[in-house]
Amino acid sequence: MMKAESYVTSLFSLKGRVGIVTGASRGIGAAIAEVLASAGATVYNFSRHPHEQNEHNCTKIIDATVDLYDYQTMQTAIGDLVEKEGQLDFLVNNAGISYKARAEIFPDDEYQKIAHINLEAVLKMCTLSYPYLKKSKYTGRIVSISSMGAYMGFSGVVPYCMTKSGILGLTRALAEEWKNDNILVNSVAPGWFLTRLNQKMFEEHPDRKYSALNRMMLNRFGDPKEIGYMVLFLLSQASTFITGQDFAVDGGATAHGY
């Protein structure tokens, strides 16, 4: 009989699994990739930039140069991965971009970039991965990164909030459409995390840092690996009865009252 500790450890092991994290070069994406690789998975970073490995983490992430504006490079990279590894078990759609401007003067070209990377490329990654995920012996998994901006209004980033809300619709619709195809589809909504981008913004606008901290029940910023832990759960054998859901990892921000 397996001991309780060994049983729990086995539930969260990703040993033998192969998957993709888009935009895993740095920030939240890099942290997700490192957590998954530490759990035993073979993780491919689909990005235009190589993974910036944490100096305290010896885990190797495999870089695959992929331009999410170019569907052909996406298809080729997925095909090359499957040819090399013989399988594809999970896809984490992490890559995302934003741009700050009021809605009435928002540049059309910036909107098109945001709509493509945050939503259209996510759908394309899902459909290109579908033929391989449905064959996974572990049950194929898709986890997309949404945002608390899918639930809350933020001034100056309307297209970002709009596309992240679209991730919720995409998650639920794919979960329904692929429910009989051996694939579970979920999403994770991060709150405020001290990534390089956010740190720079807070340095330039200290008032925003105070406002963000005041919004979170836990009164602290998240560690990017805390997103990785939720993604690990959703890829593990501990989440086999969960699909079509979005999970907030935001220190209580979206539940915060006044």
CA–CA distance, 166 with 163 (Å, rounded to integer): 5
Q: Are 117 and 166 in contact (CB under 8 A)?
A: no
Residue appearing with tokens 């192969």: 18
Strand partners, 43: 19
Q: Are 60 and 51 in contact (CB under 8 A)?
A: no
Which entry of 71, 160, 210, 258 is annotated as an active-site residue?
160
For 62-99, give one letter per residue: b (16+ CB within 10 A) or e. bbbebebeeeebbbebbeebbeebebbbbbbbbbbebe
160 flagged as catalytic: yes
CA-nearest of 220, 256, 252, 208 to 100 is: 208
Which sequence positions are flagged as catalytic?
160
